[in-house]
Amino acid sequence: MALIKDSTPAWLVLANGQVFQGKSFGAKGTVIGEVVFTTGMTAYQETLTDPSYYGQIVTQTFPLIGNYGVNSQDFESTQSYVSGYIVREWCNAPSNFRSEDSIDHFLKRLNIIGLWGIDTRCLTRMLREAGVMNGAITTEDPAGRMETLLTQIRAYSVRDAVKTVTGTETHTYTPENIKYRVVLLDFGYKRYIRKSLMNRGCEVIVVPANTTAEEIYALDPDGIMLSNGPGDPAEATEVIANIREIVKLGIPVFGICLGHQLTALAMGAKTEKLKYGHRGANQPVIDLASGKTYVTSQNHGYAVVGESLDPSVGEVSHINANDKTCEGIRYNSVNAFTVQFHPEAHGGPLDTAYLFDEFTGRMDAYKEGK
C-alpha cells in the first residue's frame, strides 16, 4: 500500500540567502551542513550510508528517488552520516523483491531530515556556478529568524570528520579460502571495499584511523589498504604523519579516495578544494599508462594537486577526463599506489576493479620476497 506523503512545508536556506520551499520527509527539525549534489541515478541507499558524506546535505540530481526501496544488504556502513537529504520526488510505493522499507521510513528511523518538491535542477545549477555552499534544511518557517539562521549557516564547517566516523575497535573478517592478510585503515570505509578484498581471498583486519605503523606491522599483513572518508584531508595531520611511517614498512599500500589524498600529503604533495567536487557514478578517468578511459564512481570535494608531487617520489597515473585533475598516483620511492575514484563501485561501474588485482599482485611479490 502506498504511503500518504507528508504535506508539512520545509525549507532549504543557502548561505547566499537563497531560499527554496518544498515539503518534508524523513525526520523533522533543523540541520546545517555543506550542500552538495550527486548525479547517481541509483545507489541512493549506498549514498545515504557512505561515511564520506559526513557533514553534508546531499542533493540527488536524478528526479525520482526510492523506487526500489531500501534493503539492509546494500548499506555501506551501519548508519547514515549525511546531515540532510534533498530530492525532487520520493517514491512512496517502492517495488523490488529485495525491498525491506521505504526511504521515508529509513530517514525517520535514522533521524535524517529530508526535503522534497523543490527544483533540484535549479539548485544543482546554482551549486555548479557558485560552488558548494553551506545551507540549512528546516521544517520550521525561517522567515522570522533568517538573520540568525544565516549567521549559523555561514559559520558552519565540517570538522574532525575522520575522528568522528572511524571505528574504535579492531574487527577481523575472514573469507573461506585465505590467500592474503590485509590491514584496512578505517577513515570512514565503505563495506564494499572490504568485500572486494575478501572476494580475492583477503582476510581483512579493519583498524581505527589512529592505528600506528608499529601496531600495523605487528599484525603481519601482506598489504595495507587506506580507505575513503570525509572532510578536508589536510586537517588529519596525525593520520598524515602516521602514513609517512606506514609507507616506510615496505608492505604494499593501496589507497582509495581520502586514502589517496592523505598519502599524497604524507609524501609532500598538496591538496585543493574543488568548486563542486566529483560525486556520482559516471566520472570519466584516463589511465595515462594505457591511454584508456574508464567510467568511475566518485565522491569527493578535494583533489591532489598533481604538479605539487616531486617526480622522484611518484607520478600521476590517472587524470579526470573532464577537468584534468589528478585521479591516481603510482609511487617510485615506496611500495604504494593510490586512486581518487572507487574501483569497488557499489553501486556503479566496475571498469577499474583491475586495481584490486594489481594490489594482490603486489602482495604476491611481497610475500615471495619476505
Point out the residues that are catalytic.
257, 342, 344
Bridge-based pairing state of the strands 84-87 and 180-186: unpaired
List the grid coordinates of 200: 580475492
* Triad 342, 346, 347: Cα angle to 5°: 115
Instruction: Give the SS3 label for residue 223.
Output: strand
List the grid coordinates of 141: 518557517
The full DSSP string for 60-87 is: E-SSEE-TT-B-GGG-SSSS---SEEEE
Bridge-based pairing state of the strands 253-256 and 336-339: parallel
Q: Which residue has the cell 568548486?
A: 275
Query: Which residues are CB-contacts of 324 (< 8 A; sequence separation ≥ 6)?
Result: none
* Phi, psi (deg, nearest 5) at residue 203: -75, 125
Bridge-based pairing state of the strands 19-26 and 253-256: unpaired
CA 305, chain centre distance (Å): 19
The full DSSP string for 256-307 is: ETHHHHHHHHHTT-EEEEEEEEEEEEEEEEEETTT--EEEEEEEEEEEEEGG
* Triad 322, 187, 208: Cα angle to 5°: 165
